[in-house]
Each structure stands twice: as structure tokens, then as C-alpha cells.
């Protein structure tokens, strides 16, 4: 079992503007990020889109690999340490059912009072319907913890929307409005908030409507059919790499889009008998890295406002292959290795910006890839990997939400109430 942590990036000394920003907070496998301002980089004139770091930043003995890669992307950790904010001050946060379970399991954490205050809330307390009362407690606890986080971090706080609502657009919107009202009651402005929504069609549509109201959304569980499908057009066949969820999320105007690189790779390894996967392996393609690349190029080439986050990064080579993407969530063991490794010109790995607005502008998409996605076309394009991985993620998060309500029911009322 992993240690419960709340740790900021080990490179917290990096300069981060006080404007709306982001980094990462997580509990176990629940992560978040956010920094709207990325470190500056200097472009070279190479047609291969290789970007050179300033000599002073990479050729000095004191520069670490972490410093070097942070010049291209916002690198953020996937774990954090609860009560050590002075030593490891996080810059942004995520609040989720997973986090609430962790808090309830650690009675001495600084956030436990936020949960106890939720259980003492008179509005929830007075509800006669048990299900409604427990749902109210859970929402209050999420917002109370989120409010405490907002006082501790300069960036945005992302609040998880109940995964059990994933297939009901109006229910998602009502939940976000309810959470937003609770945040307003404790004087947390909407500019400091994001709302984390599963990327079902209903979730994507909810994000579109919420963003039109000025409410910032974070779409998660973005996958695709791993390596593409064959389209038949005028008796001709050709392969199109599908990135339907990511494109639909960008078209909806989601503020942040999260892609799990390693989970797609894991799925591929467990389905080696699939001819599409065999074909892709022969080409040296990695499904997760390919999806991030295509989504990034699409967002930047066609002027969508979304920021892209790569999560479930498994090793340093993954990270190096993603340099230039807006956010990279990396395990602490990778961050520690990067911090301890000195960057030098004869480094084994070349620090190259793999993704950039310039490379995106020259990327060629087929006309068939530039469709306006709707519910029917998205469902047809999802494929087995996206369907299975989305269902697994939703089941896990729905179970956590249910466990939170059951736990709150057992400890209600709290002591001294």
C-alpha cells in the first residue's frame, strides 16, 4: 500500500507566476496539475522541430535533468504529503473521493476538521432521505477540503464530479452548479476552480455547456481505439488514427484534457492478438504517446483553448518523448531520478522539444479526422480499448464515491456535534 502523501514538485523553487496556475495534487492514484504559464523556451531553426535549451540552463554542471525538461513542459508529481506544506508547498490541488477516503483514514490530518464540519452541517443534517443526506455530506466535505486547499495553494483546485453521473448531462451540470454554490458560500471564486468530469459523450456535452457559462472543466478518462480503423470511401480503404474523445473534448472547449499514456500501453500489451496492435508494433508505435501527440497537434493547429495533460507516465523515456505537452504527471521515483541526474551536452538522452505549436502547424490531418463529433460518431469511433478503459475508470471512481458515503454514514454525527 502506497504511503499517503501531499507533496509538491521537488523543484518547487522554479519560478511560477501568481496568475491562475497549476501543478499537481494527488492521493494514491488520483492526480492533478495546472499551471497556465509554462516555462520559456528558445526555438532552434531545425525543420525537425528540435528546440535547444539555453546554454546556461543545460551546459552547467549544476543543472539537473529535471531543470532541463521543465523548460519544455510543466512537470508535476503524482503523489503528495498531507501535512508538510511548508517543506513541500503544492501549487494546485485535486479534491476527490479517493482523497476523502484517505483523510477519513488519517484522523490527525489537517483536513479532517473539514470533513467533520461537513458532517455537522445543518442543511445536510436536516434531510430526512438517507441517500440525499449522505450525498449532501459528501459534497460538503469535498468543498470544505477544496476550500482549505485553495487557502494553501496559489493555483486552481479541481473538484471531482461524481462518476455515477457520467451518463447524465443535466445531472453533471446540476452537480457542478451545486458544488460551485458551496464554494461561493465559502468565498472561493470560480477562477480558482476546475471540475473534473469523465469523458463520456454526456460528460463532454456537460463540459461544453459549463464552459459556455465560464465554468472551467477538466475532462478525464480520455482514450481511443488504439491504432485506428479502416474507413471505406469510394471503394478505397485507408487507416485513420482515431482520437475521437480528445477531439470532441477540445471541440467542447474543455480547459484541461487528461490522457493516460501508460494505461493505453498496458491495454495493448494484454491484447497482442489484435491485428491492429501487431501492425502498430511493427511500425514502432506506442498508443499512449501517439494519442498525446495527435491530440496536442489537433488542439494547437486548430486553435482550441484546451491544455493537454499526459498522465500515467511510466519511465523517463516516456517523459522525454512528451516534452512540449502542457503538463506531464510523473511518479516521484521518476522526478527523484531526474533531480539527481546532472544534465550535460553528452547526455544519453537528448533534451528535445517533441511537441510544439510550430510542429502542430505543419502536421497534416486527413479530412475524415476533422469531423464535428456528435454522440453517434463518437460511440462508433471509441473502439474496445476506450470502451473498456473508460468503463474500468468509471467503475473505480463510482465505487470510491459510494464508499465515501458509506463511511460518512458510519461516522455521522461527528464527535462534539
Helix (H, G, I), strand (E, B) or coil at 320: helix
Pair (248, 300) in one structural domain:
yes
Q: With respect to residue 7, please indicate whether it lies within any of the assigned structural domains.
A: no
Backbone region of residue 7 per phi and psi (left: phi > 0; alpha: psi in -120 to 50; beta: other values): beta
For the question of residue 196 being annotated catalytic, the response is yes
Residue 31 DSSP one-character state = -
Low-confidence ranges of the chain (pLDDT < 70): 1-62, 77-92, 224-242, 271-285, 345-350, 414-417
Residues 324 and 353 in one domain: yes
Predicted pLDDT at 232: 36
The phi and psi torsions of 230 (rounded to 5 degrees) equal -100, 120
Same domain, 316 and 369: yes
The reply to whether 266 falls in a domain is yes
| End-to-end CA separation in angstroms for the chain | 33
Please provide the DSSP assignment of 182-208 as one string: HHHHTT--GGGEEEEEE-SHHHHHHHH
pLDDT per residue as tens digits for the range 337-359: 888 888 776 654 567 899 999 99
User: Do both 329 and 201 map to the same domain?
Assistant: no
Take residue 81 and report the three cell numbers written for it: 504529503
Determine, yes or no, domain membership for 382: no
Looking at residue 417, its pLDDT comes to 55
pLDDT at 160: 96
* Residue range of the domain that includes 205: 91-215+397-416
What is the model's pLDDT at position 8? 29
Q: HEC string of 277-292?
A: HHHHHHCCCCHHHHHH
**What is the domain-level CATH number for residue 357?**
3.20.20.70
Per the CB < 8 A criterion, the answer to whether 81 and 88 are in contact is yes
- Asked whether the beta carbons of 344 and 292 are under 8 A apart, the reply is no
Q: Same structural domain for residues 209 and 262?
A: no
- Please tell me the predicted confidence (pLDDT) of residue 414: 62
Distance CA 72, CA 319 (A): 11
CA 191 vs. chain centroid, Å, equals 18
CA dist 183 to 53, 140, 191, 211, Å? 41, 9, 11, 17
Q: Are residues 229 and 368 in the same domain?
A: yes
Q: Distance between CA atoms of 240 and 65, rounded to whole angstroms? A: 36
Res 279: pLDDT: 53
Residue 240, in any domain of the structure? yes
59 within domain boundaries: no
pLDDT confidence of residue 341: 86
Distances (CA, A) of 173 to 151, 195, 197, 203, 219: 26, 10, 10, 9, 14
In a domain, 337, yes or no: yes
What DSSP string describes 355-404? --HHHHHHPPPPGGGS----HHHHHHH-HHHHHHHHHHHHHHHHHHHHHH
Helices (H) and strands (E) in the chain, counts: 17, 10
Which string of b and e fits 84-112 if b means at least 16 CB within 10 Å?
Answer: ebeebebbbbbbbbbbbbbbbeeeebebb
Same domain, 227 and 364: yes
> 369: closest CA among 240, 279, 278?
240
Residue 104 CA to residue 109 CA, distance in Å, equals 9
The verdict on 263 and 137 lying in the same domain is: no
- List b or e across 268-288, with b for residues whose CB sees 16 or more CB atoms inside 10 angstroms: beeeeebebbeebeeeebbbb
Same domain, 250 and 161: no
pLDDT at res. 275: 52
Q: Which of 140, 196, 294, 307 is catalytic?
A: 196
pLDDT tens-digit series, residues 107-139: 778 888 999 999 999 899 889 899 999 999 999
Same domain for 284 and 333, yes or no, is: yes
Residue-level pLDDT at 240: 44
Q: Is residue 37 part of a domain?
A: no
The domain total for the chain is: 2
Residue 66: predicted pLDDT: 85
Residues 201 and 296 occupy one common structural domain:
no
**Is residue 330 a part of any domain in this protein?**
yes
- pTM, two decimals, is 0.78
| Residues 265/204, Cβ–Cβ less than 8 Å | no
Are residues 244 and 347 part of one domain? yes
**Cα dihedral sign for 113, 118, 119, 125?**
positive
Strand partners, 95: 159
Amino acid at each position: 500500500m502506497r504511503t499517503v502523501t501531499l507533496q509538491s514538485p521537488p523543484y518547487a523553487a522554479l519560478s511560477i507566476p501568481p496568475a491562475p496556475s497549476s501543478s499537481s495534487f494527488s492521493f494514491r492514484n488520483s492526480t492533478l496539475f495546472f499551471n497556465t504559464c509554462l516555462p520559456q523556451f528558445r526555438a532552434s531553426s531545425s525543420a525537425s522541430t528540435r528546440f535547444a535549451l539555453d546554454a546556461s540552463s543545460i551546459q552547467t554542471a549544476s543543472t539537473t535533468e529535471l531543470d532541463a525538461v521543465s523548460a519544455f513542459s510543466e512537470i508535476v508529481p503524482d503523489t503528495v504529503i498531507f501535512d508538510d506544506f511548508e517543506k513541500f508547498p503544492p501549487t494546485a490541488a485535486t479534491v476527490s473521493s479517493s482523497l476523502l477516503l484517505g483523510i477519513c483514514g488519517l484522523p490527525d490530518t489537517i483536513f479532517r476538521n473539514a470533513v467533520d464540519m461537513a458532517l455537522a452541517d445543518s442543511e445536510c443534517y436536516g434531510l430526512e432521505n438517507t441517500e440525499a443526506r449522505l450525498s449532501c455530506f459528501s459534497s460538503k466535505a469535498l468543498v470544505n477540503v477544496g476550500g482549505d486547499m485553495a487557502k494553501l495553494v496559489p493555483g486552481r483546485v479541481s473538484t471531482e464530479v461524481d462518476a455515477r453521473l457520467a451518463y447524465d448531462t443535466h445531472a453533471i451540470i446540476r452537480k457542478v452548479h451545486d458544488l460551485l454554490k458551496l464554494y461561493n458560500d465559502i468565498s472561493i471564486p470560480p477562477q480558482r476552480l476546475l471540475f473534473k468530469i469523465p469523458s463520456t459523450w454526456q460528460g463532454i456535452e456537460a463540459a461544453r455547456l459549463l464552459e459556455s457559462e465560464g465554468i472551467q472543466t477538466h475532462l478525464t478518462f480520455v482514450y481511443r481505439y488504439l491504432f485506428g480503423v479502416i474507413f471505406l470511401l469510394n471503394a478505397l480503404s485507408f487507416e485513420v488514427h482515431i482520437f475521437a474523445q480528445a477531439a470532441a473534448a477540445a471541440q467542447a472547449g474543455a480547459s484541461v484534457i487528461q490522457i493516460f499514456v501508460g494505461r493505453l500501453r498496458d491495454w495493448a500489451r494484454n491484447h497482442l492478438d489484435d491485428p491492429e496492435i501487431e501492425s502498430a508494433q511493427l511500425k514502432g508505435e506506442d498508443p499512449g504517446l501517439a494519442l498525446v501527440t495527435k491530440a496536442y497537434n489537433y488542439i494547437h493547429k486548430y486553435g482550441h483553448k484546451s491544455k493537454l495533460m499526459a498522465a500515467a507516465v511510466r519511465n523517463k523515456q516516456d517523459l522525454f518523448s512528451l516534452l512540449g505537452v502542457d503538463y506531464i504527471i510523473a511518479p516521484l521515483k521518476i522526478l527523484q531520478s531526474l533531480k539527481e541526474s546532472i544534465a550535460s551536452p553528452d547526455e544519453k538522452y537528448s533534451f528535445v522539444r517533441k511537441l510544439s505549436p510550430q510542429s502542430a502547424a505543419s502536421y497534416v490531418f486527413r479530412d475524415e479526422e476533422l469531423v464535428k463529433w456528435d454522440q453517434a460518431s463518437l460511440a462508433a469511433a471509441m473502439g474496445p480499448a476506450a470502451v473498456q478503459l473508460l468503463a474500468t475508470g468509471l467503475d473505480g471512481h463510482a465505487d470510491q464515491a459510494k464508499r465515501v458515503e458509506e463511511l460518512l454514514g458510519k461516522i455521522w454525527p461527528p464527535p462534539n456535534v
